[in-house]
Chain A
């Protein structure tokens, strides 16, 4: 059974020339007959299917549409064209500790953050002990989060997310956070998650992170799928392409230097 079915996804962003934020600017732009924005297609005809239990990574340079794709899967963004069908409970982890409020205690923030990940009060209460243990923060849960170090915030945020027991976990750039010890724990937990037959969808610039966690990878470039296949193979191709591109840049620069 497939967990995610993305059918020909297109996403258009409008980039305003000069951001019209007031009625006056908007009215003037209208009077002058300006369209006021450039069209920009972040995703163009992207289709793929993810089977249940698969761990899939999305790689590609900045601006290739990875985060847009994840935003669409998380229902934060809406595709301009095309449709996504997701089967199962999704836990979108686009940021660690979404909605954390500095003045609230660690405990209060766990309940707030967990509700944003779709967990009810009773479910969160049942998992609360595990979350705190995993984050190794049991002495700090009654202190306001503004007194936490960056590492503590990250550990708590990550711990909440992986204890939500979703069918599908979406992760954006938050692989390999925390210190060495916490990273080992996190990777072990994700491996456990995979063994339990859950689906993982990971966006990362950390290619080793992708090859460690994922079986399959998709390489996106300027909104198009370049290749889709075995994680090691796709990551190798992407890595080679980047090296080749950098070499060509260096050569062009050298040519320019010798020409002038």
Chain B
């Protein structure tokens, strides 16, 4: 609590570090700040090439669903990855000046929130091209972002503190984030996992997964990222509708449409959203509290390291 008051007292340092990070990031590049917009746009170009052209995915709205879900994921993964260097990079400051150390992971979070805002501008431009309607449900993006931010901050604080003492953390996290990406419904909608089952499990991993499939699906639904990513889609694309949603297209036969709707209703009944959302919020808040506790305990000896 007293740390929070200190952060408020030293907020000037926080703003200055964020401003410095943004300014220095694109120094020596010709396009400068335009990269904040070009980066997400080029990333989307890569997705388009891989999924639309190479894999020929032709579900309706495929690109819109992908890009919308990718935004909160990018924000989360970048924050967590940046955090592993945030204390070690600023060791010169840590050894020579007092300021509440919490400012370091906070500056990473804030910088990435600003990048998210830039990416959002790109997204809105694409929506205009794709003909996606602007609705009042867009506002749900705010609590969804907050959920992801709180969760990301908790992990960041913890990882920032540990990476001061163990350089290994950075490498482990780099790979774990890669795995986490596929465990988060960015490339696929959430119902794919919820309806999924494993046929003929024939090795240790598959046997384990199929034996614990139902509880694992619950864990998947409690992941703040699952909730965050799908809430973005619900807010921006589904008009606030339940995000366990199967796209129905005119190309489907009537029977296929009815089956899809029946499956959707069944899954919605099996996985009522409210408890999962509350659970994800609780997990995010608990992570932030534990992360902050670990960080503050370790922060006392930062200046004595290396």
Contacts and interface: CB of A to CB of B under 8 A. Distances in A.
Contact of B13 (A71, A95, A115): A115
B95 A76 contact: yes
A11 to B, nearest CB: 10
B304 interface: yes
A71 B20 contact: no
B303 A76 contact: yes
A13 B24 CA distance: 35
B23 A75 contact: no
A118 B10 contact: yes
Contacts of A103: 23-24, 27
B98 A92 contact: yes
A94 B97 contact: yes
Nearest to B17: A112
A94 B261 CA distance: 68
B78 to A, nearest CB: 21
Contacts of B23: 103-104, 108
Nearest to B95: A76
B138 interface: no
B12 A23 contact: no
B93 A116 contact: yes
A98 B97 contact: yes
B168 interface: yes
B98 A75 contact: yes
Given A76-B303, A121-B12, A99 B93 contact: yes
A77 interface: yes
Nearest to A26: B166
A117 B166 CA distance: 30
B148 to A, nearest CB: 29
A21 interface: yes
Interface range on chain B: under 10, 10 to 19, 20 to 34, or 35 or more? 20 to 34
A238 interface: no
Contact of B97 (A21, A23, A117, A121): A117
Contacts of A77: 303-304
B305 to A, nearest CB: 10
A22 interface: yes
A197 interface: no
Nearest to A19: B306
Of B17, B98, B300, B301, most A-chain CB atoms within 10 Å: B98
Interface string B270-306: 0000000000000000000000000000001101100
Interface in A16-31: 21-23, 26
B167 A21 contact: yes
Interface of A: 13, 21-23, 26, 71, 74-78, 92, 94-95, 98-99, 101, 103-104, 108, 111-112, 115-121
28 contacts: A22-B166, A22-B168, A23-B166, A23-B168, A74-B97, A74-B98, A75-B98, A76-B95, A76-B303, A78-B301, A92-B97, A92-B98, A94-B96, A94-B97, A98-B92, A99-B93, A101-B20, A103-B27, A104-B23, A108-B19, A111-B16, A112-B16, A112-B17, A115-B10, A115-B15, A116-B13, A116-B99, A120-B12
